[in-house]
Structure 1
């Protein structure tokens, strides 16, 4: 099973502040949609609550410590990363972990791949992506994008695979 962390993080690993992204990169949103569509997505409660509504064409699994957390009927609510992964193990060969910072830290050891959009800027933040240990992760693809009229920052798509797979 492929367990893929997918994130956009700044040079200082900043993910966001006050439960929001601190940049807007339309091409990154398109890539996120293309990669995650028709696959389960696992996220923490705070990340889920930033969505105006569930994302189409994806099964949502939300991890929360809150007991009696109420979510729309189509959302699966679990209390641990292990439960989240077990929920989809038999259904799909690929699942995506979409945040936030605490969930990425929990999932890093179990992940097989990382799809990271590196935003070439530093930001003040309160959520961060974990450090990628290059002894454990091999960079297999890199695609640079320059700043332009639609993107306020240059960014690079980075694909990592866990060494030894």
Structure 2
């Protein structure tokens, strides 16, 4: 059984996930949504993202994507590629593997992804760490939650779940 592969990210209006490190926005409702969605799941993270999130893992099983074979995660396991992460998650009978960043992990996972959960933040960063470009021809929005700016959120944002559109070859 191959688990569903989901990428979850907060992305600026101009396509960036960060200026250099960490998430550049304090959006409590988005953070709560992220935590609720990933609760109890297997996560795939790049090494730097994993190190930024240390202390956050409790009921998660992190797989750390790194080519450094000597790297031993404090919590979770090291993997050398997305396919091996999917294989490990499948062998553990997981129905889903959630990619949480960073940019290299998203880039490596995008071709195999089944679902995207994107928080579209109404803020332009101007530069930084990009989220991989994706064509809306290949992805269909299936849910959308709009959140206005308020006293707890400096920026409005929308959490959109996309499913990959499957193209089937028809016999002539």
Taking structure 1 as the reference length, the TM-score comes to: 0.94
RMSD: 1.4
Structure 1 residue runs without a partner (length 5+):
none
Shift in Å at residue 158 of structure 1?
Answer: 0.5
- Would you say the 8 A contact 1:15–1:125 is kept in 2? no
Partner secondary structure for residue 21 of structure 1: coil
Q: What is the CA–CA distance in structure 2 between the aligned matches of 1:39 and 1:71, rounded to whole Å? A: 17
CA drift of 1:71 comes to 1.8
Secondary structure class of the residue paired with 2:37:
helix
Larger Rg: 2
**Match in the other structure for 1:11:** 13
Pairing 1:44-55 to 2, within 5 Å after superposition: 44-55=46-57
Q: Separation in 2 of the partners of 1:95 and 1:71? A: 18
Structure 1 residues 151 and 6: alpha-carbon distance in aligned structure 2, compared to 1, 3 A threshold: same
Residue of structure 2 equivalent to 1:81: 82
Output one character per residue of 1:29-60: Cα deviation in whole Å (capped at 9) or x when no partner.
Answer: 11011111111000100111112424111100
Unaligned runs of 5+ in 2: 168-172
User: SS state of the match for residue 149, structure 2?
Assistant: coil
1:132 Cα shift? Answer: 2.1
How many residue pairs match? The answer is 164
1:66 matched residue in structure 2: 68
CA contact (8 A) 2:6 2:98 kept: yes
CA change 1:78–1:109 in 2 (3 A) is same
- Given that residues 16 and 128 in structure 2 are in contact (C-alpha distance below 8 angstroms), is that contact kept between their aligned partners in structure 1? yes
Residue 140 of structure 1 aligns to a residue whose secondary structure is: strand
Q: What's the CA shift for 1:125?
A: 4.0
Q: Which shows bigger deviation, 52-61 or 34-43?
A: 52-61
Question: What's the counterpart of residue 113 of structure 1?
Answer: 115
TM-score, normalised to structure 2's length? 0.90
